[in-house]
A and B are shown apart, each in its own frame.
Chain A
Amino acid sequence: MDALLQFLFSGLTVGAVYALVALGFTIIYNASDVVNFAQGEFVMLGGMITVFAFDAGVPLPLAAVVAILVTAAIGVALNKLAIEPARGAPVVSLIIITIGASILIRGATQLVFDKQLHRFPAFSGDDPIRVLGATILPQSLWVIGGALAVFVGLWVFFTRTLTGKAVLATANNRIAAQLVGINTGWIMTLSFGLSAAIGAFAGVLVTPITLVSYDVGVALALKGFAAAMLGGMGNPKGALVGGLLLGCLEAMTAGYVSSQYKEAVAFIVILAVLFVMPRGLFGAKTTERV
């Protein structure tokens, strides 16, 4: 029994990390249908900048804010310098541009910072919380809470605010959106800035658990992408559920079957789900543009 609870705690911890990364994909995807493969790099930047600001003597909360703002600015710059000039190019070309951007950011990070692993202290210490013989670290609760907070924020943004609806409208039909008076250029800038900020926020929360170095972004983006696909790309609820589900699947497989196969089992389940529900668990019903 305590083993099951321990596997569940592990799954929730790892799953919340995946969910936070997956949530970052949603805004840019909703605004432009582009899957931003530089999202993992935003997470990495959030962690790296916080580490170096903190080591330079900046208090941790301030360092985190600096990291989020700088990363958001980098997201905006990515849109202005690489995505906007290629406006009108097919979505696939834009996705390839984001892959290029991720390689550039990774390279620049190892030059500007370094190639070592880093960590900063957990927000509420490292003493595990004991529940019925199983343990969970306070930082895991921060990550789970952060994922929930971002989820609620995004849900409100997309369903309750005019700007959020403008983002959805831009994705649905850019010309029609312009005709009704939406500044689509500004919406794109906003979505890259927000996505980068969410990525950096994720990086700040997960670094005490996962540690950070210039190359952690790739693996995070891959798992986050898998989680988003499982839940339904573009839907915040899908990102949250997909992430937690993926984490729990891995933990249960590692705990009950074999750690050798935990990733294989997780991906087989994802494939099976996508086979039956091609747009993921919470994917929107297909609304093809004509």
Chain B
Amino acid sequence: MLTKTTTALVTLAALGALSGAAQAEIRLGVSVSATGPAAFLGDPEAKTIEMLVEQLNEKGGINGEKVALTLYDDGGDPNKARTFATRLIEDDEVVAIIGGSTTGTTMSILSVAEGEGIPFISLAGAISIIDPVREYVFKTPHTDRMACEKIFTDMQAQGISKVGMISGTDGFGASMQAQCKEVAGDYGVEIVADETYGPQDADMTPQLTRIRNTDGVQAVLNPGFGQGPAIVTRNVAQLGFDVPLYQSHGVASNAFIELAGADSAEGLRLPGTALLIADSLSEDDPQYEVVTSYTKAFKAAYNQEVSTFGGYAHDAFALMADAISRADDAEDPEAIRDALEKTSGFVGTTGTYSFSPEDHLGLDLSAFRMLEVKDGGWQPVE
């Protein structure tokens, strides 16, 4: 009996393997945090990739081969992300992985992908993902440090040298707070006040009052995401605290202006991507085509505004599809990795990517655009 069952199973497995090979499809694996505390990242990422795979297959796939997508929801749990990464490689036999919405889940997937030799594009922010460079690991979002550098460059241009910081204590806020404090000196900026708030706090006027009472504060910088930055923006207006307010790329969305209130948000600045100003991009902008086609398609498919995070997933998928189309063998992870590393001047929604053996992020500061809220909408700072 036992032998019989085993034989049956082996036959089934063999049949499965045969049918898989016969279809000649490119198996792509994705593990993002579509639910759970990081759902605001993973939800648009999952939707974006599902939409793009469908679009690509309608157009005939990559070099005539359809893309078969296996998408898992790790719920923001690094342990689940590790299990799914292993399952993607061993059971689903994917040739490449995209995912890791948070730095935590990315770190889990990264070790599996690196060990098995499967190219992996991460969607998380931390600089430690690509520094030091790992052979099979790439990422699309810019780092926190680049956001800090972009903000301080703008402050320097405005003649601001003394800054009060108020940061969220969540992972994003804390990481960016540390990075900003590290690079501030390079731009002649001094952090004269350093306050924090809990991610679910309802009122930040005490912290902001402390910053206001600090001598010589010329601007306020608020690294964080979720409701915190919206409440900080409202509280700054409530207190009548009249200094320039800088937010991070974590809240770069149209929904943020709505949450913070157009009046309170007026004049605040943040480093964002071209996605936010899709409507006002000039047609000769290199990113015009990719940005408008993505925003239109996403809006049509889900009746939702695009977010920067969905943009990261868009770029990761586009880069991977491009690399697979150029690879010597579309079924060989090694060949895909090599092609990915040779990517040069690839225009995405976030910026223009050029990978090299020393740089697996491939973006520079020009990918960020300094944006300002004007009349309730985002405008590029001239």
Task: Judge whether A211 and B230 touch: CB under 8 Å.
Answer: yes
- With a CB–CB cut-off of 8 A, which chain B residues contact A255? 206-207, 209-210
- With a CB–CB cut-off of 8 A, which chain A residues contact B226? 117
- With a CB–CB cut-off of 8 A, which chain B residues contact A115? 35, 39-40, 43
Bound-complex Cα distance A89 to B169 (A): 40
Q: Does B187 contact A (CB under 8 A)?
A: no
**CB closest residue in chain A, given B208:** A6
Q: Main secondary structure on chain B at its contact with chain A?
A: helix
Task: Judge whether B207 and A254 touch: CB under 8 Å.
Answer: yes
Bound-complex Cα distance A7 to B235 (A): 13
Question: Which of A10-18, A28-36, A176-184 touches B?
Answer: A10-18
Q: Does B286 contact A (CB under 8 A)?
A: no
- With a CB–CB cut-off of 8 A, which chain B residues contact A17? 202
Which residues of chain A from 200 to 226 have a CB within 8 Å of any chain B CB?
206, 209-211, 213, 215-216, 219-220
1/0 per residue B220-254: CB within 8 Å of A? 00000011001100100111100000000000000
A251-B206, A254-B206 known; A263-B40 Cβ under 8 A: no
The tally of CB-CB contacts under 8 A between chains A and B is 89
- With a CB–CB cut-off of 8 A, which chain B residues contact A10? 203, 205-206
Task: Judge whether A209 and B202 touch: CB under 8 Å.
Answer: yes
Bound-complex Cα distance A119 to B43 (A): 20
Q: Does B213 contact A (CB under 8 A)?
A: yes
* 28 A/B residue pairs, CB under 8 Å, sorted by A: A6-B206, A13-B203, A110-B39, A115-B35, A115-B40, A116-B40, A117-B226, A117-B227, A117-B230, A117-B255, A117-B259, A119-B259, A126-B264, A135-B205, A209-B202, A210-B231, A211-B227, A211-B231, A211-B259, A219-B200, A251-B203, A251-B206, A254-B195, A255-B206, A255-B207, A255-B209, A259-B210, A263-B198
**CB closest residue in chain B, given A107:** B35
**CB closest residue in chain A, given B263:** A126
Which of B195, B227, B240 has the most chain A CB atoms closer than 10 A to its own CB? B227
1/0 per residue A235-266: CB within 8 Å of B? 00000000000000001101100011001000
Q: What 3 A-B pairs come out closest when comparing CB atoms?
A: A219-B200, A255-B206, A254-B206
**CB closest residue in chain A, given B305:** A116
Which residues of chain A from 111 to 141 have a CB within 8 Å of any chain B CB?
115-119, 126, 128, 135, 137
**CB closest residue in chain A, given B200:** A219
Q: Does B61 contact A (CB under 8 A)?
A: no
- With a CB–CB cut-off of 8 A, which chain B residues contact A213? 227
Q: Does B64 contact A (CB under 8 A)?
A: no
**CB closest residue in chain B, given A17:** B202
Q: Does A269 contact B (CB under 8 A)?
A: no
- With a CB–CB cut-off of 8 A, which chain B residues contact A260? 196
